[in-house]
Amino acid sequence: MIAVRNTGYISADKLSCYLAKLPAQEQQRILQYKRIEDRQRALLGMLTVNYMFQQYELDIDVMKWYRRDQRGRPYIEASSSWQGDFTISHAGKWIICAMTDKGRVGVDIEEIQPLDFATVFACLSREEFTLLLQQTEANRWVFFYEKWTQKEAIGKAIGTGLITPACFFTIEEVKNNWAIRHYYIDETHLACLCVNTNDLPEHVEYRDDVEIVRHWVEV
């Protein structure tokens, strides 16, 4: 799993140049975002997938075969020789990408910050909400984001997303057959990785946008 920090290296001019090299549907998707930061993150997500394929020496033209299913989940179409999976998430200045050479994988990253209780109540089951109220104030939001990132990661791994409202199920009801682990990306960003194998990394690899973009340009 790789965590890529968006430093702002991709300026508006560079973004236009790089977008011209992407599939038309991905250009359109990225340009739908109004803010430059959102466009940077969307582009970096794709380039990080390309970077990981190169690192694992997978001979697949990611930019040519990058596709999305009906729910927007990315996949590589020309992958008959590769039975793995990958997943992307982003929050703040961080883009997370995880890959497995077999099975399914899901990842989610969130910035730990207080929310109003109406939002929290809509995201947790009644049992989970009761447990949250029992937490100390210092631990309350860590507890919440641990639950929330698990639900998001499992939804991505399954490929359905959160079709069922998150408040209607608990992690215990859906986490069977999934290996789950949390990682602090920095002091305020928590990520959760979910795979249906036991192949969970001990550590997160860190990169920045400069390295990811330069690798893509040079390859």
pLDDT, tens only, 58-73: 778 888 888 888 888 8
pLDDT at 123 over 80: yes
**pLDDT class for 167, splitting at 50, 70, 90?**
very low
Q: What is the mean pLDDT of residues 198-216?
A: 91
More confident residue, 204 or 64: 204
Q: Which CATH class is domain 1-82+201-219?
A: alpha beta
Q: What is the mean pLDDT of residues 116-135?
A: 87
Measured between its terminal Cα atoms, the distance across the chain in Å is: 21
What pTM was estimated for this model as a whole? Answer: 0.88
Most confident of 47-51, 101-105, 194-198: 47-51
d(C-alpha 30, C-alpha 91), whole Å = 16
1-82+201-219 and 104-196, same CATH topology: yes
More confident residue, 56 or 183: 183
Q: What is the mean pLDDT of residues 41-59?
A: 89
pLDDT at 39: 94
Per this entry, what is the length of the chain? 219
| Cβ-contact 124, 166 below 8 angstroms | yes
Provide, rounded to the nearest whole percent, the portion of the chain with pLDDT above 90: 47
Domain boundaries, the chain: 1-82+201-219, 104-196
pLDDT at 43: 94
Q: What are phi and psi for residue 66, nearest 5 degrees?
A: -70, 125
| Cβ-contact 78, 86 below 8 angstroms | no
More confident residue, 163 or 31: 31
List, in order, residues 6 or more apart from 139 with CB less than 8 Å away. none
Q: Provide CATH code, domain 104-196.
A: 3.90.470.20
Provide, rounded to the nearest whole percent, the portion of the chain with pLDDT above 70: 89
pLDDT at 171: 60
Q: What is the mean pLDDT of residues 148-156?
A: 89
- For residue 218 the two structure tokens come to 């040079």
Question: Bridge partners of 108?
Answer: 192
